[in-house]
């Protein structure tokens, strides 16, 4: 097979079939700008909706030979092999390329599995001979190539433009590109980062050339221009939105509205799970997340990105975990926006220092017990120039609650300082990891033993510690731990949205995703593994199958299936654990099955 990348913009393409497989092919063609005609007697609702929106032509009838010859590209995806063969024969007779789903013998070309990171595409194919291997390799690549490659690819395109403007010869250009690549890519971990403007200039200087008069800020770190159709008149607008603690339904109503109004979203790693899965595909998504010791996009470049997008007239959302002004560096970004005269607003979010303890049954204030709350960043404990936090004063206040952010590695030092300053060793204390999500874990112990207990439980970032009398209420008030679906993160199709309230009340974290998935849905799904997928139809199973490479689906999950036909399709697709549901009350049925699984054999 000879690999090619086809430009299908404004090209007439035919899809014969109207099920879930056909829908995936339709969406792929629409994404590339093709003019799509669908021929199917009984198409799924999403195809009907796309036709109603004017995005494709739908003819609700059987295929009529030899109409395939009237198109530039043909895809057949019906359940009848005779029909698929007829479509393939007609296309070939007219010299038109044809692909038939799951039938390599009838295909002139194959559709590879794709991993997309913005404009960067990695494709895997096996000439149709080993689709399972392709699927598993794609899953591997999805895990290895993070979202930071989106920004990196845009930066690479900008750097290429800058180098080309210098008029270098081919050898000099190649050396510049190689120097830039070596400076920004870790070949062992397959990670990438956007370089600072000074680093880019250094790549050119090392090649013996001085950068052109084009300012260092107008180079590779700039994102692609905002699409002209999305630009407003003059300067745009920036909303600094707090995403909350990770549970998608703890995003505020105003934050949700701003995200749907946005042209571009610049989001942190811890905010990814709160991205609304139904965001339109037109919205630009810019990941700028950080992990401990690894900052692919430096803070100054994040701020510069906000300025550039807004200056192009875009409505921008800066989506930050928790609250923008609580250890989120939102004030730094707001100050720069104010200095540049760019309009902005702040949409507060639910901060982990309050929500985390509450979700674990710990009130941070309680009448007559805790009447003050101090929020601190535990990193202050390890500052060589002396901490700004007065641990000695905090240790002397028995009626206060101390809540510490970013404190997993600093916890032993914090405890030591508090104990040295006179805090009682038996002061109630706890640490809460990934608060309000299905992955939440809690370690609780007297202060002197909390570091050891956190290590025993295996607490990892992100986590907050809470020290104070409110921790004594935990066993009585830990409502979440008693919920029958606590620890469950469930993927739910829109057709079952009615069950979302019951499932969350039963303790589950629920991610309602459109099928096929939008780019935002894929990012939200990848934020944490799901424990199960609820399928209403066999088409739902097929549509999720294409997403099995997503890190959120990488671990073994339960297929909760409405009806025998849906369950059969899940087994056929290789789901190891398939449970058939009646559909009368999903929360009760899934809860009963989970309770039964916890019982000793």
pLDDT in tens, 132-147: 888 788 878 887 888 7
Give the closest residue to 324 by CA, choosing from 267, 273, 286. 267
Question: CA–CA separation, 178 vs 105, rounded Å?
Answer: 42
Report residue 100 as tokens. Answer: 């038939």
Confidence of residue 600 (pLDDT cuts 50, 70, 90): low
Q: Is 4 exposed, middle or buried (0-12, 13-18, 19+ CB in 10 A)?
A: exposed
pLDDT of 86 > 70? The answer is: yes
Neighbours of 556 (CB within 10 A): 10
Q: Domain boundary at 298, 321, 349, which?
A: 349
In a domain, 117, yes or no: no
- Where in 40-82 does DSSP place strands (E)? 57-59, 73-76
Determine the pLDDT at residue 296.
59
Task: Give the percent of the chain with pLDDT over 70.
Answer: 91
Largest CA distance in the chain: 88
Element (H, E) at 31: helix 20-31
Q: Are residues 404 and 501 in the same domain?
A: no
In three-state secondary structure terms, 116 is strand
Distances (CA, A) of 297 to 2, 152, 301, 317, 327: 37, 9, 6, 17, 18
Tens-digit pLDDT profile for residues 419-467: 999 999 999 999 999 999 999 999 999 999 999 999 999 999 999 999 9
Top pLDDT among 221 and 149 is at 149
Across residues 212-228, what is the average pLDDT? 39
Q: Is 583 exposed, middle or buried (0-12, 13-18, 19+ CB in 10 A)?
A: middle
Contact status, residue 352 vs residue 327, Cβ threshold 8 Å = no
Q: Are residues 376 and 455 in the same domain?
A: yes
Q: Are residues 512 and 570 in the same domain?
A: yes
Report residue 26 as tokens. Answer: 């339709």
Give the closest residue to 316 by CA, choosing from 306, 325, 324. 306
Total number of residues shown for the chain: 601
Determine the pLDDT at residue 497.
93
Tens-digit pLDDT profile for residues 42-62: 998 889 989 999 999 999 999
HSE at residue 49, side-chain half, CA atoms within 13 A, is 6
Query: What is the residue whose two structure tokens read 């220092």?
Result: 353
In a domain, 331, yes or no: yes
Q: Structural domain tally of the chain?
A: 5
Determine the pLDDT at residue 25.
92
pTM of the model: 0.74
Question: Considering Cα of 28, then 30, then 31, then 34, what sign does the dihedral take?
Answer: positive
- Where in 210-365 does DSSP place strands (E)? 237-242, 264-267, 284-287, 315-320, 344-347
Top pLDDT among 1 and 181 is at 181
Element (H, E) at 565: helix 564-572
Report residue 67 as tokens. Answer: 């109409």
φ and ψ at residue 483, rounded to 5 degrees: -70, 140
Confidence of residue 110 (pLDDT cuts 50, 70, 90): confident
User: How many Å from the N-terminal Cα to the C-terminal Cα in the chain?
Assistant: 52
Lowest mean pLDDT among 211-215, 268-272, 539-543, 590-594: 211-215
pLDDT of 221 > 60? The answer is: no
Q: Are residues 418 and 507 in the same domain?
A: no
Top pLDDT among 497 and 165 is at 497
Q: Are residues 374 and 442 in the same domain?
A: yes
In the sheet that holds 73-76, the strands lie side by side as: 57-59, 35-39, 12-16, 73-76, 97-100
Q: Are residues 460 and 358 in the same domain?
A: yes
**DSSP code, position 225:** P
pLDDT of 68 > 90? The answer is: yes
Element (H, E) at 113: strand 113-117
Q: Are residues 502 and 560 in the same domain?
A: yes
In the beta sheet, which residues pair with residue 291?
Answer: 294
Top pLDDT among 229 and 572 is at 572
Contact status, residue 549 vs residue 527, Cβ threshold 8 Å = no
In the beta sheet, which residues pair with residue 320?
Answer: 242
Q: Which residues contact 136 (CB under 8 A, 6 or more apart)?
A: none
Question: Considering Cα of 463, then 464, then 466, then 472, what sign does the dihedral take?
Answer: negative
Query: What is the residue whose two structure tokens read 């159709």?
Result: 229
pLDDT of 385 > 70? The answer is: no
Element (H, E) at 574: none
In a domain, 140, yes or no: no
pLDDT of 553 > 90? The answer is: no
Element (H, E) at 128: none
Contact status, residue 33 vs residue 53, Cβ threshold 8 Å = no
pLDDT of 539 > 60? The answer is: yes
Confidence of residue 226 (pLDDT cuts 50, 70, 90): very low
Q: Domain boundary at 465, 481, 497, which?
A: 481
Determine the pLDDT at residue 213.
38
In a domain, 142, yes or no: no
Contact status, residue 195 vs residue 298, Cβ threshold 8 Å = no
Distances (CA, A) of 473 to 350, 364, 469, 483: 22, 10, 8, 17
CATH number at residue 25: 3.40.50.720
Q: Are residues 16 and 88 in the same domain?
A: yes
Catalytic residues: 268, 290
The mean pLDDT value of the chain amounts to 88
Q: Which residues contact 308 (CB under 8 A, 6 or more apart)?
A: 222, 223
Question: CA–CA separation, 387 vs 134, rounded Å?
Answer: 53
Element (H, E) at 337: helix 330-339
Q: Domain boundary at 458, 481, 504, which?
A: 481
In a domain, 457, yes or no: yes
CATH number at residue 587: 3.40.50.10090
Top pLDDT among 282 and 414 is at 414
Task: Give the percent of the chain with pLDDT over 90.
Answer: 59
CATH number at residue 400: 3.30.950.10
Q: What 3 state SS string does 349-363 have?
A: CCCHHHHHHHHCCCC
Element (H, E) at 5: none
Helix pair 148-164, 197-205: axis angle to 10 deg: 40
Across residues 499-506, what is the average pLDDT? 95
Question: CA–CA separation, 282 vs 213, rounded Å?
Answer: 34
Confidence of residue 515 (pLDDT cuts 50, 70, 90): confident
Determine the pLDDT at residue 530.
94
Q: Which residues contact 432 (CB under 8 A, 6 or more apart)?
A: 352, 356, 357, 359, 360, 362, 440, 441, 442, 463, 464, 465, 466
- Where in 125-227 does DSSP place strands (E)? 185-186, 191-192
Determine the pLDDT at residue 384.
55
Determine the pLDDT at residue 217.
36
pLDDT of 30 > 90? The answer is: yes
Confidence of residue 41 (pLDDT cuts 50, 70, 90): very high
Report residue 276 as tokens. Answer: 């609304």
Q: Are residues 419 and 502 in the same domain?
A: no
Residue 313 backbone class (left: φ over 0; alpha: ψ -120 to 50; beta: rest): left
**DSSP code, position 312:** T
In a domain, 139, yes or no: no
Determine the pLDDT at residue 402.
97
Determine the pLDDT at residue 210.
45
Tens-digit pLDDT profile for residues 299-332: 888 999 999 999 989 999 999 999 999 998 999 9
pLDDT of 227 > 70? The answer is: no
Question: CA–CA separation, 141 vs 555, rounded Å?
Answer: 15
Across residues 236-253, what is the average pLDDT? 93
Angle (CA) 282-284-287 rounded to 5° is: 145
In a domain, 134, yes or no: no
Contact status, residue 570 vs residue 541, Cβ threshold 8 Å = yes
pLDDT of 417 > 80? The answer is: yes
Question: CA–CA separation, 454 vs 355, rounded Å?
Answer: 19
Q: Are residues 411 and 329 in the same domain?
A: no
Question: CA–CA separation, 396 vs 525, rounded Å?
Answer: 44
Across residues 360-388, what is the average pLDDT? 82
Contact status, residue 109 vs residue 99, Cβ threshold 8 Å = yes
The boundaries of the domain holding residue 70 are 12-111
Q: Are residues 358 and 305 in the same domain?
A: no
In a domain, 124, yes or no: no
CATH number at residue 344: 3.40.1010.10
Across residues 175-186, what is the average pLDDT? 89
Q: Are residues 477 and 521 in the same domain?
A: no
């Amino acid at each position: 097979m000879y690999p090619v990348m086809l430009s299908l913009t404004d090209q007439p393409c035919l899809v014969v079939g109207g099920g879930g497989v056909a829908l995936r092919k339709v969406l792929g063609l629409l994404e590339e700008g093709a003019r799509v005609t669908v021929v199917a007697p009984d198409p799924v609702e999403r195809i009907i909706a796309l036709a109603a929106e004017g995005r494709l032509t739908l003819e609700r009838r059987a295929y009529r030979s030899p109409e395939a010859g009237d198109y530039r590209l043909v895809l057949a995806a019906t359940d009848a092999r005779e029909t698929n063969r007829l479509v393939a024969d007609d296309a070939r007779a007219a010299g038109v390329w044809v692909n038939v789903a799951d039938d390599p013998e009838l295909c002139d070309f194959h559709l590879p599995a794709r991993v997309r990171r913005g404009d960067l595409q990695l494709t895997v194919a096996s000439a149709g001979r080993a689709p399972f291997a392709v699927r598993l390799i794609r899953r591997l690549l999805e895990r290895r190539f993070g979202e930071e490659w989106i920004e990196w690819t845009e930066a690479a395109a900008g750097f290429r433009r800058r180098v080309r403007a210098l008029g270098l010869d081919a050898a000099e250009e190649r050396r510049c590109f190689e120097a830039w690549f070596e400076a920004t890519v870790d070949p062992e971990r397959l990670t990438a980062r956007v370089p600072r403007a000074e680093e880019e200039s250094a790549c050119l200087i090392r090649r013996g050339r001085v950068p052109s008069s084009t300012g260092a800020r107008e180079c590779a770190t700039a994102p692609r221009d905002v699409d002209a159709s999305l630009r407003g008149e003059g300067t745009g607008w920036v909303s600094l939105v707090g995403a909350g603690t990770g549970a998608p339904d703890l995003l505020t109503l105003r934050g949700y509205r701003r995200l749907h109004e946005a042209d571009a979203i610049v989001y942190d790693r811890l905010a990814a799970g709160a991205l609304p899965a139904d965001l339109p595909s037109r919205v630009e998504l810019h990941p700028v997340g950080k992990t401990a010791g690894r900052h692919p996009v430096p803070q100054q470049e994040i701020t510069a990105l906000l300025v550039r997008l807004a200056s192009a007239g875009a409505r921008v959302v800066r989506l930050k975990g928790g609250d923008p002004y609580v250890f989120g560096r939102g004030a730094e970004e707001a100050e720069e926006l104010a200095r540049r005269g760019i309009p902005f607003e702040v949409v507060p979010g639910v901060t982990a220092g309050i929500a985390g303890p509450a979700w674990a049954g710990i009130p941070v204030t309680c009448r007559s017990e805790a009447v003050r709350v101090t929020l601190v960043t535990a990193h202050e404990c390890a500052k060589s120039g002396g901490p700004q936090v007065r641990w000695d004063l905090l240790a002397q206040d028995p009626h206060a609650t101390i809540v510490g952010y970013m404190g997993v590695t600093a916890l032993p030092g914090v405890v030591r300082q508090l104990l040295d300053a006179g805090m009682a060793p038996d002061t109630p204390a706890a640490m809460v990891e990934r608060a309000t999500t299905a992955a939440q874990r809690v370690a609780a112990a007297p202060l002197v033993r909390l570091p050891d207990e956190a290590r025993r439980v295996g607490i990892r970032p992100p986590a907050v510690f809470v020290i104070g009398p409110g921790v004594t209420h935990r066993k009585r008030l830990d409502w979440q731990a008693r919920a029958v679906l606590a620890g469950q993160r469930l993927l739910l199709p829109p057709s079952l949205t009615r069950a979302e309230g019951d499932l969350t009340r039963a303790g589950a974290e629920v991610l309602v995703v459109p099928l096929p998935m939008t780019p935002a849905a894929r990012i939200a799904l990848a934020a944490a593994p799901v424990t199960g997928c609820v399928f209403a139809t066999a088409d739902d199973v097929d549509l999720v199958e294409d997403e099995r490479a997503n890190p959120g689906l990488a671990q073994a999950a339960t297929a909760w299936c409405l009806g025998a036909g849906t369950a059969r399709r899940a087994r056929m697709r290789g789901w190891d654990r398939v449970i058939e549901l009646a559909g009368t009350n999903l929360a009760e049925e899934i809860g009963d099955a989970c309770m039964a699984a916890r019982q000793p054999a």
